[in-house]
Structure 1
């Protein structure tokens, strides 16, 4: 059961003098979770401490630092790889270990300080000179292979800000939504997130914004990759940390945890798809997401859940969850505030969701579904939490889902193709910069490529914004040619 939940916000003003490294924020969040549990000495009994990977600074043993801070000698410690599904997966693992008697008290924590790191860099201050850790310290090593497969990299279909809009475009077309209707739906969801964030004391941007403000590109809200404006993208440059404490019922009572602190972990499930998005059967759906939700919510009437709090790095993720659960999109606005308003502290967002959901269930009772997403809709994990006593019934082992994908072939010198997914990346001045295309040849095989970078006319041929209006590009037939490793698309009228 979840008995302690804490979170902290740091340096929203991005001041050099207030720049604290992620580990400091994490320890503060752990202290907040300990205080929230209302049981002095509980964390000293922690036998398991796991941390979600920090991306803004490197640590050799953050879990060990937490253990020393709380006076614990855990038998099990660990750190994850990068991925927004990890908080939910770690909670599942902790609950499963506790259910089978392998653990009694577990701590899960994580945090980021990208805002402070950028503030220090902008001021020409070395974080180490500011007192940040040197074990090993510095930004974590980055492996370009983590961006995507060689085929994805060759096509330029890498980076979340490009890939998720491709999913959006394919799903929009498959769902029969016009570009205008789809944009309005996504902007409405993001506006709902801002309303939730305005009530969350550790939200990075607690300003309520209308759907019209969010959807309209312009100064301060540039188009990033169609159809997502900046206000619809995850906001990773934040200083936030969170922690939760999970125990057995016997341990909670032995340490004097008040009954009103207890939220039960009913269980959940995880699933993963192939990391190569070009090797998936469809860009319009997520087999891993469907599998994780089906196994987690089996026999559950989603309309009767008190809260559905969904990972929201880009609107397509909660939109897919809502559709699969048979809920209106507004029903998955949750209680955290979304990556676009609460903040997107990279892999730790769902830890903050667990804190917010715990607080809501304590106040109002009922059941909640919490979801985490990692990679490019690659890793999924969902959980059910309950205020009422339940027996844990989860599955800590993620399941791999596969499907038959169309063969990926080189872009022909010239061909007629049907657009399967497309997006256009824009420059900071608002002009089209580069287009990204996934398409099918007449025989059903798939091609993928990008237009020459910095060529607005080539990019514009794939844009939704043509001839002064919004016009669908997905599902249409276009002529493509190959030139110097890039794709040129015959402009549509």
Structure 2
């Protein structure tokens, strides 16, 4: 079937997407006409500017929009982020309402600086497929206003309740935030990017001064572009030395970054891009000299940070850039303009290295002035880069403009290549390339690092008060596993090492704790800084009660006001107590219970978690038990009342469970947005029928005492309030037996648990058998039996 033509000059599919309007808006807190606009207000101004840029009737354009897509503000980009002045519940439709549009579809994009270019490509495809005709994309930030007025007496209220469907795509943070990174303070962008930067310096074998000079020479031209850009937040030209020389104003942020080379987030900026089909452009009266076509495009995602083979580069970003050029049929030398995402120097140099571009390229590597100088408008910076590129393409018809947009930690990269030269839509192969990237081998990772290691990369974080924190990415000498660690507070030795000319490749010593891995220069230094404790029982604990009765140890969680819920200090005490129990040969059985009759333990203290204070587990796990290996002496859970979430996980980690008649057991994490990650998801399906375990886990349903007994989760039921008494009786039944036999029996059961074949498990070589043959208790047991007297166990 012959394709219809658009006009006499272009034999193109009438659904070919074309950019027809761009707009930008900014206001400074000190500007004469400062209006203190909200993010919605700023975006609306940029959108109206984009309508005006089309050269067509603004009202007609607005009424034709069927799709709007908004870039997520910083204050809506992470869970729990604050919006001091409030925000709209439906940002895209709030902006649409301000500009007179009533779209069928509204999108709120995921977090990340790749968003603007990704949406241009995605909605262009939607237009080509006939699913949209006119689409408006926009983004904005009012961070300067929020900071300026957050504590003002008559501060504005930016809250808006807007009706209408919203395609909220979520935060899009999967793989970008990990428990290990959070535990080690590796959550801020400067520290994360500094790791890449220092790895690149080492790969290039440059000195610190050489590399710093290179960063300054890379970004000095950016400052000159920003100085002439009316939309720039920091329009001041600076020399290379000014950018990288630490001063009181240009303080160190994270080695090797000073403040002048990191993205500036204190901005009030907005930008918008209007895309439509050629048919719509003709119908709406948009002149052809406004049309700009997307010649090349690509969207790729890098492996997660710690999985990457090389921490000095992002090959996926380079692959995306080269692929987009290939789709456009171009070489980098044929580009007229280039704008590389520039939150930090490495984001620019990574792609520039891959494309063979130099810092002094006469075309320049930015059109806006870059994020540190034009402004880091949250996730929306590249919308401004696209707007500037469209403007330049129109001024130089036929010229090709490149926009590279980066998101995450060199994680997501979207590329667009623009020109006024008419072209058919060209399909890209990003999906196939992504499969290739996902198949790249990952580096083995150790969440808990112990032993000698080498530094792979590093940074030192500087707080405003001058305090320093060293962060190391290392490789364990024994396994090659990669890990994150920080220095020990007050350890100047590791800070001195990280300040040497080349720390990368240096030997260090790591040790794991519940709160994270710590690293210093030597093992002897670690013993001085964090001496190992001899496992012993103290007389008093803040949150736990301990009572010895002969060979029995009774451990009571003493937080009845919180239903015996646990938080880090209590976990640490329990870990210390159980360390002492397993190390003490005179203690043969332990019982853990909760104070009062209401609860054994309600699990994790959610009220404490909500405070934002560090929330971690000791290396031995929840209650000092759930991740503990070699539990070769019996632990009995005396469950009085509720055992919820982590409370049930604690009971599941015990060898025996006694419940009272009122006991209620549940893995209730799904009811509060969590998962039973302290062993419940593993142990419950191995303890009771899997289908029943699935039901309990997925519904959070409570299981009563009788049901727990019937399905083998509990050993016996005691009258209400008598679980501890029944547990004591059970413990006494164990204590009359050989503690050596009990201990070795537990060891054999633990060691054979992972052997699937029964005969293989029975015939497996076990040191426990040899230990039993040479034990005094075996001899005593046989002798006592022959002499018809009670044995006198020695536990050896």
Q: Name the TM-score, length of structure 2 as normaliser.
A: 0.57
Residue number among 436, 439, 442 corresponding to 1:405 in the alignment: 442
Q: Which residue of 1 aligns with 2:454?
A: 418
Deviations 1:413-450 (A, max 9, x none): 441x3221111111225x45101101123342212211
Q: CA deviation at 1:406?
A: 2.1
SS in 2 for 1:384: strand
Q: Which residue of 2 aligns with 1:219?
A: 248
Distance 2:300 2:257 in 1: 27
Q: Which residue of 1 aligns with 2:196?
A: 167
Asked if 1:48 corresponds to 2:85, the answer is no
Residue number among 300, 323, 329 corresponding to 1:295 in the alignment: 323
Q: How does 1:329-478 map to 2 (within 5 A)?
A: 329-331=359-361, 333-365=365-397, 366-395=399-428, 399=434, 401-402=437-438, 403-410=440-447, 412-415=449-452, 417-429=453-465, 431=466, 433-442=468-477, 443-453=479-489, 455=490, 457-458=492-493, 460-464=495-499, 466=500, 471-474=501-504, 476-478=505-507
Q: CA deviation at 1:458?
A: 4.9
SS in 1 for 2:488: coil
Q: How does 1:126-165 map to 2 (within 5 A)?
A: 126=155, 130-135=156-161, 148-165=177-194
Asked if 1:315 corresponds to 2:334, the answer is no
Distance 1:159 1:15 in 2: 34
Q: Unmatched 5+ residue regions in structure 1? A: none
Query: Rg: which structure is higher?
Result: 2
Does the 8 Å CA contact 1:92/1:267 hold for their aligned counterparts? no
Does the 8 Å CA contact 2:142/2:269 hold for their aligned counterparts? yes
Distance 2:258 2:491 in 1: 18
Q: CA deviation at 1:125?
A: 4.9
Distance 2:255 2:394 in 1: 40
Does the 8 Å CA contact 1:14/1:115 hold for their aligned counterparts? no
Q: CA deviation at 1:122?
A: 4.2
Does the 8 Å CA contact 2:89/2:161 hold for their aligned counterparts? yes
Q: CA deviation at 1:234?
A: 0.6
Distance 2:184 2:174 in 1: 14
Deviations 1:36-70 (A, max 9, x none): 11111223201111111122453222222233333
Does the 8 Å CA contact 2:67/2:104 hold for their aligned counterparts? yes
Q: CA deviation at 1:144?
A: 9.9
Greater RCO (Cα-Cα under 8 Å, separation 6 or more): 1
Q: Name the TM-score, length of structure 1 as normaliser.
A: 0.90
SS in 1 for 2:445: coil
Alignment size in residue pairs:
474
SS in 2 for 1:220: coil
Distance 1:103 1:412 in 2: 52
Distance 2:349 2:146 in 1: 32
Closer, same or farther: CA 279–267 of 1 in aligned 2, 3 Å: same
SS in 1 for 2:350: helix
Q: How does 1:43-82 map to 2 (within 5 A)?
A: 43-56=62-75, 57=83, 58-82=87-111
Deviations 1:164-198 (A, max 9, x none): 00011112222333322221111112211111111
Distance 1:13 1:84 in 2: 27
Distance 1:289 1:318 in 2: 10
Q: Unmatched 5+ residue regions in structure 2? A: 1-17, 76-82, 163-169, 523-796
Larger mean Cα displacement after TM superposition, 65-74 or 342-351: 65-74
Q: CA deviation at 1:11?
A: 2.5
